[in-house]
Amino acid sequence: MPPLLEVRNAQLSYDDAPVLRDVSLELAEGEIFAVIGPSGCGKTSLLRVIAGLEQAQSGEVWLDGARIDATPTHRRGIGLMFQELALFPHLDVAANVDFGLRLQGLDATARAERVTEMLQLVGLPEHGARKVHELSGGERQRVALARSLAPRPRLLMLDEPVGALDRALREDLLAELGAILRSQSLTAIYVTHDQEEAFALADRVMVMQAGEVRQVGPPLEIYRAPADAWVARFLGRTNLIPGQVHPPLPSGPPSASPPPRVPSSPPSPSQRDGEGVRGRGRVRVHTPIGDFILPTPLPTDAAPGPITLLLGDERAHIERAADPSPALNTIVAEIVAQSFHGRLLRLSVRTGGHDLSFAVDPPPPGDAWGVGESVRITLDPAAIIMIPDGSS
């Protein structure tokens, strides 16, 4: 089946300042696709190019197997919910929702039905006669959503749809939004600067920076294996250490390190994958804070040379460091700060001039760690990711 939407090599610049550089993407029918990146990364411009509000200098946009670059916005059948909502201030709620239907030339009964249906869907069945300026922030968001959904767009694009709301409201609305999008079996592009939103909602996520696509993939894959140090940092994964790959090791179980003690969490899929990975090969990485041995998915990744290591904190094991000598896949570090976040304890540690941070199970009662203490952190090799990017 051909993709519903395809963008090929889109280039856009304003006054010689590049906004989109060679952006391509494919979107399957029914897929919810998130675009994330910091503000100014070009994600809104990408939506505007797809919607036809902006004309790319080069590149192609295909929808349903037809090229639509020259199709004016209003004939593309693509919905867009604006970050600023852009509700029509001169119309009431029902008329806002009705707007697209009216332009489709539907008869009055069908329109009225659809408006009622949409207002019910977004939970505002009684608000049809309200003026836009009488609504609360959350209600406006819902009206904007209803307005975008009403004409049944082939593709719905949402630009930071919950960005302006406070946290609690945002989470509620987000859950509802996901349910609505699935219930309408819509194909959607969801733009946000917040990866949690994207991960919670999307089938696939695209990370953009400075007009470029840095990585595309399912949320878990992106989280687990950021394509580069920048993506890792953008996702809040800041335990990045420069390292050197040693020549390949022979296959077999790790020799120097004890098998990691797995915490009480259930086995994750990656752990099962780990079995397969072990067969492909392992690589030894030398870093200023110790040496690490980790499985590599592909032997080619293990070419000797500078790389960056991302130290994941899943299943990390912490204990008081009786013996300060480093060992494989362990770090000995000094606690700089700690803060408790519900189930997990966030430890900020320093070792060899590097600041690292781990979310770990709190120590048993009566055995609290103190700032300034030395701890030994044992990492799960499967949570250590090699990023082929020397700079960190």
Partner 1 sequence: MRPSRLILIPALGFLALFFVYPLIEIFRQSLAPNGDFSLAPFETVLGDSFFLGRLWFTAWQALASTALTLALGLPSAYVFARYEFRGKTTIRALTTIPFVLPVVVVAIAFTALLGPTGVLNEALQSIFGLSQPPIRVLNTITVILLAHAFYNYTIVVRTVSALWANIDPRTEEAARVLGGGAVAVFWRVTLPQIAPAVLSAALLVFMFSFTSFGVVLILGGPEFATLEATIYNLTARLLRLPLAAALAIVQIVFTLAVMWTYARLQARTATPLSLQPQSAATRRIRGRRQRLLIGLNFGLVFLWLGAPLLALVERSFRGAEGYTFAFYKALENNAQEQFFFVSLSEALRNSLWFAAVTVLIAVPLGTVLAFAVARVRGRWRPIADALAMLPLGVSVITLAFGILIALDSGPLDLRASWVIIVVAHTLIAYPFVMRSVLSVVRGIDERLHEAAATLGASPTQTVRRVDLPIVSRAMLVGATFAFAISIGDFGAALLLSRPEFSTMNVAIFRYLSLPGGERLGAALAMSVVLMLVSGIGFLLIERFRYRDVGEF
Q: Which spans of this chain sit near partner 1 (rule: CB under 8 A)?
A: 14-15, 51-53, 55, 72-75, 77-80, 82, 84, 86-91, 99-100, 103-104, 131, 133, 147-148, 151
As a whole number of angstroms, the distance between CA 23 and CA 35 comes to 12
Task: Return the residue matching tokens 């406006």.
Answer: 140
Q: Which of 247, 287, 291, 283 is nearest to 392 (CA)?
A: 287
**Alpha carbon 164 to its chain's center:** 19
Q: Of 353, 369, 308, 356, nearest to 330 (Cα)?
A: 356
Q: How far is the CB of 164 from partner 1 (least distance, A)?
A: 13
What is the closest distance, in whole angstroms, from the C-beta atom of residue 178 to partner 1 in the complex? 22
Cβ nearer to partner 1, comparing 24 with 73: 73
Q: Can you tell me the distance from the alpha carbon of 392 to that of 170, in angstroms, rounded to the nearest whole number?
A: 33
Token pair listed for 284:
């030894």
C-alpha 392 chain-centroid distance: 20
Residues 294, 381: contact at Cβ < 8 Å?
A: yes
Nearer to partner 1, 24 or 55 (CB): 55
Q: By C-beta, is 53 or 179 nearer to partner 1? A: 53
**83 vs 116, beta carbon nearer partner 1:** 83
Q: Which is nearer to partner 1, 154 or 246 (CB)?
A: 154
Instruction: Please state the closest distance from residue 131 (CB atom) to partner 1, in A.
Output: 7
CB-hemisphere CA count at 13 Å for 304?
5
Quote the DSSP letter at residue 211: T
Nearer to partner 1, 89 or 342 (CB): 89
- Please, what is the minimum distance in Å from the beta carbon of residue 157 to partner 1? 9
CA distance 25 to 37: 15
Tokens of 167: 């946290």
Do residues 219 and 199 touch, judged by C-beta distance below 8 A? Answer: yes
Rounded (10°) CA dihedral 118, 121, 123, 125: 40
Residue 90: CB minimum distance to partner 1, A: 4
Strands 32-36 and 204-209, sheet pairing? parallel
In the complex, least distance from residue 77 CB atom to partner 1, rounded to whole angstroms: 8
Smallest separation, CB 52 to partner 1 (Å): 8
Residue 13 or 348: the one with the smaller Cβ distance to partner 1 is 13
Q: HSE, CB side, 13 Å, CA atoms: give it for residue 379.
A: 30
Q: Are 357 and 239 in contact (CB under 8 A)?
A: yes
Residue 267: both structure tokens together:
């086995």
Q: In this structure, are strands 66-67 and 58-63 parallel, antiparallel, or unpaired? A: antiparallel
- The residue among 146 and 379 lying less far from partner 1, judged by its C-beta, is 146
> Can you read off the two tokens belonging to residue 220?
């878990």
CB of residue 201 to partner 1, shortest distance in Å: 21
Helix, strand, coil abundance in the chain, percent, nearest 5: 30, 30, 40
In angstroms, give the least distance from the CB of 63 to partner 1. 14
Query: Minimum distance between the CB of residue 160 and partner 1, rounded to whole angstroms?
Result: 13
Question: What is the rounded distance in angstroms from the CA atom of residue 94 to the CA atom of residue 384?
Answer: 53
CB closer to partner 1 out of 61 and 356: 61
Residue closer to partner 1, measured from CB, 141 or 287: 141
